């Protein structure tokens, strides 16, 4: 643990600032093709090819997702990758009937979850405040709000990271959270947030894109 006031801490801060300056000089913004890949032309997928997703790809996906920011570096998101036929059969009853074929045909379905005891790791993850864990220990509402909010942010990073790595995604909220928790998370402090199918999408199962709200509909400057 580095003290920001110590020589080692000051050196670490100086390096971090130099790294940001170097990044800005190397990459000012994403190019149009990258923006298309990640958001503008990326689509939610409903059907899947049988091309597998490997353990190395799943590890790379989590390793990329972790770099997205969270409040106090909480990193509460947790991931269960449901891939085997036995695990898919275990998950199926918890998924709403309309979503079941999407889940069953996908190479992998990720349970995007959050850890309700995320704060136990704060002494290591947020050393600037040695008492950070204590802020949450006896405040269930604050802990739940932070775990869900920051875990949801990490879920969004997960989608973008998957697309950046060449995978297609199909996020779903049509399932029974309590049933998923009972089937896969009962012996943990994790709680499910949403599901996300990942793999290589079947373009023949794509539908036309639905409208998106414009700036005037969702934002104003004060």
Tell whether 12 is covered by a domain. Answer: no
pLDDT in tens, 170-207: 999 999 999 999 999 999 999 999 999 999 999 999 99
7 in any annotated domain = no
Contacts of 11-20 spanning 24+ positions with Cβ under 8 A: none
Cβ(190)–Cβ(76) under 8 Å? no
**What local confidence, expressed as pLDDT, does residue 23 receive?**
95
Contact 137, 120 (CB under 8 A): no
Alpha-helical regions (H) of the chain? 7-26, 32-35, 55-65, 85-91, 100-105, 122-125, 132-137, 140-164, 177-184, 215-218
Q: Is residue 29 situated within a structural domain?
A: no
Q: Which two tokens stand for residue 35?
A: 């923006």
Question: Is it the case that residue 1 has pLDDT exceeding 90?
Answer: no
pLDDT of residue 149: 98
Per-residue tokens: 97: 């009937």
Asked if residue 138 belongs to a domain, the reply is yes
What is the total count of domains within the chain?
Answer: 1
Give the rounded percent of residues in the chain with a pLDDT score beyond 90. Answer: 95
Q: What is the rounded CA–CA span in Å between residue 110 and residue 76? A: 16
8 inside domain = no
Q: Is residue 35 part of a domain?
A: no
Task: Report the C-alpha dihedral over residues 53, 55, 59, 62, rounded to 10 degrees.
Answer: 50
The pLDDT of residue 5: 45
CA 193 to chain centre: 10
Range of the structural domain that residue 50 is part of: 44-204
Residue 173 lies in a domain: yes
What tens digit of pLDDT does each residue of 74-122 get?
Answer: 999 999 999 999 999 999 999 999 999 999 999 999 999 999 999 999 9
- The answer to whether position 188 is within a domain reads yes
Note the pTM of the prediction, 2 decimals. Answer: 0.93
Residue 3 in this model has a pLDDT that exceeds 60: no
Provide the CATH number for the domain around residue 155. Answer: 3.40.109.10
């Amino acid at each position: 643990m580095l003290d920001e006031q110590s020589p080692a801490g000051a050196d670490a801060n100086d390096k971090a600032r130099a790294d940001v300056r170097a990044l800005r000089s190397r990459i000012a913004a994403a190019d149009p093709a990258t923006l298309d890949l990640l958001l503008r032309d990326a689509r939610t997928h409903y059907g899947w090819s049988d091309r597998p997703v490997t353990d190395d790809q799943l590890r790379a996906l989590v390793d990329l997702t972790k770099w997205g920011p969270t409040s106090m570096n909480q990193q509460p998101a947790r991931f269960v990758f449901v891939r085997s036929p036995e695990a898919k059969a275990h998950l199926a009853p918890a998924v709403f009937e309309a979503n079941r074929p999407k889940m069953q045909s996908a190479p992998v379905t990720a349970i995007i979850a959050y850890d309700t005891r995320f704060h136990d790791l704060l002494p290591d993850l947020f050393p600037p405040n040695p008492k950070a864990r204590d802020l949450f220990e006896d405040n269930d509402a604050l802990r739940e709000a932070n775990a869900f909010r920051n875990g949801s942010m990490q879920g969004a990073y997960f989608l973008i990271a998957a697309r950046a790595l060449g995978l297609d995604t199909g996020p779903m909220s049509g399932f029974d959270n309590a049933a998923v928790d009972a089937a896969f998370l009962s012996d943990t402090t994790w709680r499910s947030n949403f599901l996300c199918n990942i793999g290589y999408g079947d373009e023949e199962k794509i539908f036309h894109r639905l409208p998106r709200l414009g700036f005037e509909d969702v934002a104003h400057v004060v």
